[in-house]
Homo-oligomer: A and B are copies of this chain.
Amino acid sequence: MLYLCRDFRMDRGSMKHNDEQFAPLWELNELWETLTEEERTYAAEHAEVVYYEKNELIHSDGDESLYMWMLLRGKVRIFKEGIGQRQQIIRLLKPYDIFGYRACIAEEAYNSSASAVESCAVYRMPKECFSHLVRQNGSFCYQVMLMMAKDLAFSEIQTVNLTQKHIRGRLAESLLLLLKNYGYEEDGHTLAMLLPREDLANMSNMTTSNAIRTLSQFAQEGLLAIDGRHIQILDEKSLEKISRLG
């Protein structure tokens, strides 16, 4: 699958949009609360809202890291291309998560790609501005480091999950991850995240066929109910057991 930029004539993402308003950074993610009044003004002045359509590419693995991003509305997948078109989804983002900050700090190219799962709004801040704040404010630096420490722990756990668990364990793990990250719809059972089977496969290190097949099996076993991309979790305990035992 290709995630093409909607319109190659303009910079990625669009700045013109309806009159949707967003609160300033520090009201959305506690990360920014460590900034002083002055720094907040600086941050607000250098953050702009950009919009992406469903499946539009936000940045690509290997691109020069020009911006640090914070998701405002929608969902974003962070992924890496592996051997022969296969993608590995590294993590999925929800509003107010930041991304692209690692590359900005390390002064390296992005080491993964980001694309919109659904129509999105994001704040973007030029690398230099973000870097400046991190270098200037020790508390802010510490908060960013805490975030990175979480990402690192998660990545190392995922390595073991994805390499050592069997297909059923990996898929169960992914479903529970979606649950943890996005929760349920109002009905208290349906995952509040609609993913194509291909993405589910790319999260779980398996082929799309196997994601479809295994999901059907889970449904037959009464662990889930499937209605297209709407997935109801009926037996969380059993899913956890399948995930734990590999």
Q: Among the listed B83, B108, B152, B160, which residue makes an inter-chain contact with A148, where contact means beta carbons less than 8 Å apart?
A: B152
Q: Per-residue CB proximity of A157-180 to B under 8 Å, as 1/0?
A: 111101111000100000000000
- CB–CB A163/B162 < 8 A: yes
**A174: shortest Cβ distance to chain B, in Å?**
13
Q: Hey, which chain B residues are within 8 Å of A246, CB to CB? A: 82-84
B105 A153 Cβ-Cβ under 8 A:
no
Residues 83-130 of A contacting B (Cβ, < 8 Å): 83-84, 86, 88, 90, 102, 105-106, 108, 111-112
Cβ–Cβ contact A163 & B88, under 8 A: yes
Contacts of A162 in B (CB 8 A): 159, 162-163
Tell me the smallest distance from the CB of A161 to a CB of chain B, in Å: 8
Residues of B within 8 A of A159 (CB): 80, 88, 90, 155, 158-159, 162
Residues of B within 8 Å of A82, CB to CB, are 160, 163-165, 246
Q: Are B153 and A108 in contact (CB under 8 A)?
A: yes
User: Binding site of A, secondary structure by majority: helix, strand, loop or mixed?
Assistant: helix
Q: Is the CB of B150 within 8 A of A145?
A: no
A245 at the interface (CB under 8 A from B): yes
The chain A residues found within 8 Å of chain B, CB to CB, are: 80, 82-84, 86, 88, 90, 102, 105-106, 108, 111-112, 134-138, 141-142, 144-146, 148-153, 155-160, 162-165, 169, 205, 245-246
Q: Could you list 17 examples of A-B contacts with CB < 8 Å? A: A80-B157, A82-B165, A83-B165, A84-B246, A88-B164, A90-B156, A90-B159, A102-B153, A105-B149, A106-B153, A111-B153, A134-B145, A148-B149, A148-B152, A158-B159, A159-B159, A159-B162
